[in-house]
Structure 1
């Protein structure tokens, strides 16, 4: 076990000694702060939120009169209507983007940038050892190949968690500074068992961040696999980045015609669709998506482990 900790420490030193790593950290901070400044400068205050919520409820009622709408969409609209009625009855204002919690929730969109940076780190984790010619020196260590590979993968995940924590802290600081903390005690309205309940907004924010991490973990694992199998950092970055931005679009168009699209990786990485949205394909549920993700996760890691173990990596 001490060998593993030593290997992880060594891998972390490799990552944070690179100038590029600090550039990525700087870009993440800049993106978070800039996002808050843009919202502060462009957001228009709502004069009468109750009138807007009431108008939205009326539009939903009109749509619900159409018996041809899909059941899944009907259930989603009914859920939104129930929440709207609760807001009007209990005087709970919708969370706007120019508030502390509102910006924290919106900042979850920046996780895609964290995903991109993690892909870059994961892609170079194994492939760079070959391009730099250091793989032979690495294998001289008394640790097994399995421990060497595991230490690299754990370090990639640690980098991702560190970047997520940094994003959350910078977003919280930016939100508090620019928007104030007057709304910090406001609850989140959750729809549970046919009724609306007030829950912790902090718990909701953490849940949003956690659910947005599925894409991060899966694509980092995919890039790590490509890096190990093909020993090519550029290929790993290219394929993983293409998957990040194009994969969900292709999956969406396939889902319009084919039910089997629900088995595609990118149909299941957006776990947030089960909170405030609708599943991409009828019949999809949170347990189903978690099961599909687990299958892909095991497959990616199995291919990575088998390749690193069996191939003559020292050649």
Structure 2
């Protein structure tokens, strides 16, 4: 366990020694403050916020979901964490250590998830503090617009469902990183799927079989809002489909990484 922790720490050091990582971290609070200023001083009714919970709602749904930014940044890290070892030639140094390939791969995946968790916490803390300062901390028990539960309950549901989507999309990017030797290709394909998944799901929803596609099931918040992509779909169905895809992506990642020939 101690050795595994050291592997995760080493992977974390690799991530945080890159300038791009700190740029991504700094970008999140800057963006949240910019959104708060827009909500505070813009005369747009759809951007109005009367308390921190309404501001959270805007950040997680009405305004382009800020969790998508966290997902985007985590995907960039996930898509390069394995592929960059091959493109940079450092994979040889990694594999001569007394650890199995499965352990090395697991440490990388764990590091990516922790990075995504860290960015998510940073986003939420920044939103809550900024929203509280600009709009006040009241309103937690008020009913959410169009829902039978409070603003606070809706917010935590939105966070939880967005977190599930983050994990699935990051695992997809991690699989591409394990399959492709070039990190640029892994990042490019992963970002393509992230940016086009919603449109693809909408275009294909006329076909009943499309509900089995991964991108038709990632928007779990649609069930809370009562607007599923198809009437034949349910929250439990989407969770089951995402779990199946998650296992598939992890299995492919492990198989390719474990079987890949590396001349040491």
Task: Quickly name the TM-score band, shorter chain normalised.
Answer: over 0.9
The CA distance in 1 between the partners of 2:50 and 2:25, in whole Å, is 24
The equivalent residue for 1:137 is 93
Written as runs of structure 1 = structure 2, the 5 A alignment for 1:278-293 is 278-293=227-242
Q: 1:202 aligns with which of 152, 175, 180?
A: 152
> Once the 2 structures are TM-superposed, how far is the Cα of residue 118 of structure 1 from its aligned partner?
0.6
Deviations 1:23-46 (A, max 9, x none): 001111111111111111114579
Question: Is this contact kept in 2: 1:226–1:232, CA < 8 A?
Answer: no
State the TM-score, normalized to the length of structure 2.
0.92
The equivalent residue for 2:74 is 118
> Once the 2 structures are TM-superposed, how far is the Cα of residue 188 of structure 1 from its aligned partner?
4.3
The CA distance in 2 between the partners of 1:39 and 1:98, in whole Å, is 10
Pair 1:276 & 2:232 matched = no
The CA distance in 2 between the partners of 1:97 and 1:231, in whole Å, is 46
> What stretches of structure 1 of length at least 5 have no aligned partner?
47-94
> Once the 2 structures are TM-superposed, how far is the Cα of residue 5 of structure 1 from its aligned partner?
0.9
The equivalent residue for 1:165 is 121
Pair 1:239 & 2:206 matched = no
The CA distance in 2 between the partners of 1:189 and 1:29, in whole Å, is 27
Deviations 1:198-248 (A, max 9, x none): 54x433312211111232112211111111111121111111111111121
The equivalent residue for 2:56 is 104
The equivalent residue for 2:27 is 27
Corresponding pairs, count: 260
The CA distance in 1 between the partners of 2:79 and 2:200, in whole Å, is 23
The CA distance in 1 between the partners of 2:262 and 2:33, in whole Å, is 43
Pair 1:186 & 2:142 matched = yes
> What stretches of structure 2 of length at least 5 have no aligned partner?
none
> Once the 2 structures are TM-superposed, how far is the Cα of residue 4 of structure 1 from its aligned partner?
1.0
Question: Is this contact kept in 1: 2:74–2:170, CA < 8 A?
Answer: yes
The equivalent residue for 2:83 is 127
RMSD: 2.0
State the TM-score, normalized to the length of structure 1.
0.78
SS of residue in 1 equivalent to 2:80: helix
